Chains A and B, each alone.
Chain A
Amino acid sequence: MARVIWGLATSHVPSIGAAMDNGKTEDPYWKPLFDGYGPAREWMAEHRPDVAVVVYNDHANAIDLDLVPTFAVGTAESYDVADEGWGRRPVPPVVGAPQLSEHLVRELMDSSFDITTCHRLDVDHGLTVPLSVYCPDPGDAWPCAVVPVLVNVIQYPQPTAARCYALGEAIGRAIRSFPQDLKVAVFGTGGMSHQLAGARAGLINERFDRMFLDAIEHDPEKLAALSREDYIAEAGTEGIELIMWLVMRGAMSGKLARIHDTYHVPASNTAAALALFEDLGEGASA
């Protein structure tokens, strides 16, 4: 049977990808952030998953405002890297895991999550930047297959944090019921506090972010109980992306161990963070 081996929460700011693509990770502006990734990257390199389930949002690239799925799962054999308007990132195409995708879609439907499926999906920085955070030098191919899971965080009303957490729990159960012997990592991406537009542009709320970084491990129910208005007020209009961390957290078994975390301001206009958790398995379920 498949199992979740770890969960990674990480910001997916485009400029983090651009810093890697343009060899700027040693620049004084970027070095503290990438130094902060170091221990997590080393640990993940020793704990390679076969498949990564990456929970992210599209940013006006594969999904426009014609159709806005609340939750969607990519079901393709491969996914091209999107041109977001300034050329494609120089990273390998993403190889899918269509059998696992199919299984997830079916299991989620049976758990009353009415999932949109995507057979063609160009993946943008929301997915490729977290992959680069995991694996900075993929060469010709990423070291794992990927199942993209999309969450609408752009158009209001977004799904509730509680629903995201429940989706994560359903994804976790679905992964653990997949009959192949696969090691799976789950990525929850986006955040932390940031706001791009309006008079509150540039908002950073370190107090909220620190609370969230702690509670995502110890008290996810508390985070699931926050309203979308709470997220917008505290973490900014784009900080609501943090609900996607709860999908990752929900997919973990009862017991987990924090391997590493880091928090840095700013990455572009965002408070960037990473938190890595080892899944200690079903038997340890609380």
Chain B
Amino acid sequence: MTAQILDGRAVSVAILDRVRREVDEFAAEHGRVPALATVLVGDDPASRTYVRMKANRCAKAGIDSHRVELDAAITTGELVSRIRELSADPAVDGILLQHPVPDHIDERAAFEAIEPAKDVDGVTRASFAAMAFDEDGFRSATPGGIMALLDAYDIPLPGRHAVVVGRSPILGRPVGMLLLARDATVTYCHSRTAGLAERVAEADIVVAAAGRPRLIRGEWIRPGAVVVDAGYAGNTGDVEYEEAAERAAFITPVPGGVGPMTIATLLAQTVRAARAHQTRRSRGAVPVRGEAMTKARDNYLLDLAASRQGYALNRLCGSLKDEENRRRFLEDEAAYCDAYGLSAEQRKAILERDWTAMLELGGSIFYTFKLAMLDKKSMQYLGGVFTGMSAEEFAAAMRSGGRKFG
């Protein structure tokens, strides 16, 4: 055997050490540790094992893991709504939905219920788009881990021919794009590719991501190539290991290659998400449970009871359509509130700009929006406040087709 081992286990240990230090710094600064919610649907033994491994690694890195286990018979709607709760939960920094989910569930709908700012496994459309455009965002964990592994061994990428076998939306497709972003020349192969052997034989770098054990024969590997095997059927990869290792310059073992890197990437991204989450909180964009800002209910209907309750508040906000009133409000907000006979809670909500509390106290968005505009805050900013996102994240969610429910 000639190939050098791309030792994912060793590299991941180094990454996890770094994650552990970052978690300690985070905890010292913010008085809490990052939190990852793992969602497991059904009782597939392999999935259960993966989730348990991820939870164990979290514990070792000092990350709080919050396990959500759901019955296999759950509907797509119920799953989406549970994930959406986690997306809105200020105590959760990252969300992992273990896949595959049972066949009757619309996996894409479930993935899209993950708030992009918490998509540490990189499975949402928003994350895919950010990755495809080479912008900041969370990478799909396995492709991200593969790139980190190649980098750990200083494998040169620019100008080299990478052949990716497999085209799944969370593995094959993204890993090809990440390689492309690093100036590799990328060929995608898949189950319908004609002449797979010839294609693989042209590769400087082979990424096997088809999920078909021993699909890729060792004899196809060009001498001196780099072989990354992301296959995951039991302990067998997509590549004939022994034969390939005779020809390759570098090769990942299965297990101990790509797998540990996936988990390390997931945890590193969880810490990143927690930092960004904390920054949004400190800007006041995220309602934090037990702190000043109020958490929004699904819908606010301005019925007659709300209209009665919110009368003074809405009247005050409505008065801001008059330029002279805008000037007087800005001059002395508290005095202006007193003149409109607000309740103590309404007064506090206005002065502290607790936009959700205003709604809880009978405010109508069409009235409170006039106050927001006086503050130069957009409807996207308010949308972010109600949903626990920054204005930019909310606007991005709108640009990607809006938020889907049910």
Please give, as numbers and ranges, the residues of chain A lying within 8 Å of B401 by CB-CB distance: 204, 206, 265-266
Q: Smallest distance from the beta carbon of B115 to chain A beta carbons, Å?
A: 11
Would you call A24 an interface residue if the criterion is a C-beta within 8 Å of the partner chain's C-beta atoms? no
Asked whether B321 lies within 8 Å of A198 as measured between CB atoms, the reply is no
Asked whether B379 lies within 8 Å of A198 as measured between CB atoms, the reply is no
Please give, as numbers and ranges, the residues of chain B lying within 8 Å of A157 by CB-CB distance: 303
Asked whether B404 lies within 8 Å of A268 as measured between CB atoms, the reply is no
Q: Which of A82, A83, A202, A237 contacts B299 (CB 8 A)?
A: A237
Residues of chain B touching chain A, judged by Cβ–Cβ distance below 8 Å, are 88, 295-304, 307, 311, 314-315, 317-318, 320-323, 326, 359, 364-367, 369-370, 373-374, 379-380, 382-383, 386-387, 394, 397-399, 401-406
Q: Smallest distance from the beta carbon of B325 to chain A beta carbons, Å?
A: 9
CA distance A197 to B405 in the complex (A): 15
Asked whether A198 lies within 8 Å of B298 as measured between CB atoms, the reply is yes
Asked whether A196 lies within 8 Å of B398 as measured between CB atoms, the reply is no
Asked whether B379 lies within 8 Å of A60 as measured between CB atoms, the reply is no
Asked whether A85 lies within 8 Å of B398 as measured between CB atoms, the reply is no
A202 in contact with B304 given A60-B318, A195-B299, A196-B365 (CB within 8 Å): no
Residues of chain A touching chain B, judged by Cβ–Cβ distance below 8 Å, are 29, 59-61, 64-65, 82-86, 154-157, 193, 195-206, 232-233, 237-238, 265-266, 268-269, 271
CA distance A232 to B298 in the complex (A): 11
List 11 contacting pairs A-B, 8 Å CB cutoff, sorted by A.
Answer: A60-B366, A61-B321, A65-B314, A155-B307, A156-B303, A156-B304, A200-B405, A202-B383, A202-B397, A204-B402, A271-B402
Please give, as numbers and ranges, the residues of chain B lying within 8 Å of A237 by CB-CB distance: 299-301
Asked whether B386 lies within 8 Å of A201 as measured between CB atoms, the reply is yes
Please give, as numbers and ranges, the residues of chain A lying within 8 Å of B297 by CB-CB distance: 198-199
CA distance A82 to B323 in the complex (A): 12
A interface, over-half SS: loop
Please give, as numbers and ranges, the residues of chain A lying within 8 Å of B304 by CB-CB distance: 155-156
CA distance A114 to B196 in the complex (A): 76
CA distance A232 to B405 in the complex (A): 12
Please give, as numbers and ranges, the residues of chain A lying within 8 Å of B373 by CB-CB distance: 85-86
Asked whether B403 lies within 8 Å of A197 as measured between CB atoms, the reply is no
CA distance A206 to B296 in the complex (A): 24
Q: Smallest distance from the beta carbon of B372 to chain A beta carbons, Å?
A: 9
CA distance A86 to B364 in the complex (A): 18
Please give, as numbers and ranges, the residues of chain B lying within 8 Å of A84 by CB-CB distance: 321, 370
Q: Which of A60, A85, A266 contacts B399 (CB 8 A)?
A: A266
Asked whether B299 lies within 8 Å of A200 as measured between CB atoms, the reply is yes
Asked whether B404 lies within 8 Å of A154 as measured between CB atoms, the reply is no
Asked whether B386 lies within 8 Å of A199 as measured between CB atoms, the reply is yes
A266 in contact with B302 given A86-B373, A199-B386, A202-B387 (CB within 8 Å): no
A204 in contact with B404 given A196-B383, A197-B300, A232-B301 (CB within 8 Å): yes
Q: Which of B298, B320, B382, B383 contacts A85 (CB 8 A)?
A: B320
* Total of A-B residue pairs, C-beta within 8 Å: 127
Please give, as numbers and ranges, the residues of chain B lying within 8 Å of A61 by CB-CB distance: 321
Please give me the residue from chain A that is nearest to B362 by CB atom: A65
Asked whether A198 lies within 8 Å of B397 as measured between CB atoms, the reply is no
Please give, as numbers and ranges, the residues of chain B lying within 8 Å of A193 by CB-CB distance: 402
Asked whether A64 lies within 8 Å of B326 as measured between CB atoms, the reply is no
Q: Smallest distance from the beta carbon of A221 to chain B beta carbons, Å?
A: 25
Asked whether B398 lies within 8 Å of A265 as measured between CB atoms, the reply is yes
Asked whether B298 lies within 8 Å of A269 as measured between CB atoms, the reply is no
Q: Which of A156, A202, A233 contacts B398 (CB 8 A)?
A: A202
CA distance A203 to B398 in the complex (A): 9
Asked whether A201 lies within 8 Å of B320 as measured between CB atoms, the reply is no
Please give me the residue from chain B that is nearest to A15 by CB atom: B379
Please give, as numbers and ranges, the residues of chain A lying within 8 Å of B315 by CB-CB distance: 64-65
Q: Smallest distance from the beta carbon of A255 to chain B beta carbons, Å?
A: 35
Q: Smallest distance from the beta carbon of B315 to chain A beta carbons, Å?
A: 7
Please give me the residue from chain A that is nearest to B398 by CB atom: A266
Q: Sorted from nearest, which 5 A-B pairs have the closest CB atoms?
A: A204-B402, A85-B370, A202-B403, A266-B398, A156-B303
CA distance A266 to B397 in the complex (A): 10
CA distance A203 to B117 in the complex (A): 18
Asked whether B367 lies within 8 Å of A60 as measured between CB atoms, the reply is yes
Q: Smallest distance from the beta carbon of A212 to chain B beta carbons, Å?
A: 15
**Known A85-B370, A202-B394, A238-B365; 13 more pairs at CB < 8 Å:** A60-B366, A83-B321, A83-B322, A83-B323, A155-B307, A196-B379, A199-B297, A199-B386, A201-B383, A202-B383, A204-B398, A237-B301, A268-B398
CA distance A238 to B383 in the complex (A): 13
Q: Which of A83, A200, A232, A269 contacts B379 (CB 8 A)?
A: A269
Please give, as numbers and ranges, the residues of chain A lying within 8 Å of B323 by CB-CB distance: 83
Asked whether B300 lies within 8 Å of A268 as measured between CB atoms, the reply is no
Q: Smallest distance from the beta carbon of B5 to chain A beta carbons, Å?
A: 48
CA distance A62 to B76 in the complex (A): 44
Please give, as numbers and ranges, the residues of chain B lying within 8 Å of A155 by CB-CB distance: 302-304, 307
Please give, as numbers and ranges, the residues of chain B lying within 8 Å of A202 by CB-CB distance: 383, 387, 394, 397-398, 402-403
